[in-house]
Every structure is written in C-alpha cells, then in structure tokens.
Amino acid sequence: MREGPFFWGLLALAAYGLVSAVARAAELIGRLRPSGDPADEPAACVVLVRDQADRIEGALDRIARAADGELVLVDLGSRDETAAILNRLACRYGHALVLQLGHLTRQEAIARAVAATTAPRVVIVDLEGHLEKEG
C-alpha cells in the first residue's frame, strides 16, 4: 500500500509531538532543580511506559540526563521487550529504579511509584502509548 501526503504529514506531526513532549519533560525537570539552598532537594522523576521497546531508549536517555534526583521507571504491563530495556537502562543510569506494575490503573501506578521515592517533589512523565517511532 502506498501512503499519501496525509499519512506522511500525520507521521511528521507525531514525531514532532514526541520531541516536544520529551523536551517539555526535560524543561520541567530542570525547573525543579535546587536553587542552591541546601534545604532544597531535587525532584524525583516518575516515567510511565507501556509497549515502547522500539522507541523508548532515546526518550529516556534525554529524561535521565535532565533528572538530578531519583528516577523511577514504571512498566505498565508491556507485552514487548520494554521491561528488559528499562532494567538495562536503570543499570546504565545508576540512579534509576524500575517498577513492573502490570496493568494497574494510571492512578494506582502513580501512587505506588511516588511511594517508592523519598523526594519531596515528583514530576510525572506519562509516555505510555504516546511515543511515535521516528523515521
């Protein structure tokens, strides 16, 4: 089947959306960094993911570079290799925790992930089902 210009336009918009979402998450994490006051603590970053094995690594690399506090990677019952990729990336990052929470509701998953952190502030990044493959 031959895709027309409408398809390619939608694909370009989806790729732009991915880049924008990751950039916005990195910007929010950067804003929550401590102001220099020792009483300030960095924010934890909780990232929700499901079935993103073929496109998650680049997005998480960028988020991990921006995060200076705890990083909690939450797999919401992926049927692909996402969980294994999250475990590999957590080892690479060194400061990440992976939670495999099955098919909990979004609210339950967020509550468990936040409970797993010690940070006074938490940024939630929901990448579950919203990443589009680039290229």
Going from the first residue of the chain to its last (135 residues), give the mean pLDDT of each consecutive group of 10, the final group possibly shorter. Answer: 70 67 68 54 89 89 87 93 94 90 88 92 80 40
Let me know: does 73 contact 96? Beta carbons within 8 Å. Answer: yes
Nearest-CA neighbor of 29 among 74, 60, 75? 60
pLDDT for 82 equals 93
Q: What CATH fold (topology level) applies to the domain 5-126?
A: Protein-Tyrosine Phosphatase; Chain A (3.90.190)
Q: What is the dihedral of CA 15, 57, 102, 129, to 10 degrees?
A: 0
Distance of CA 39 to the CA centre of its chain: 27
Let me know: does 64 contact 96? Beta carbons within 8 Å. Answer: yes
Indicate the domain borders of the chain: 5-126
Whether pTM exceeds 0.75 = no
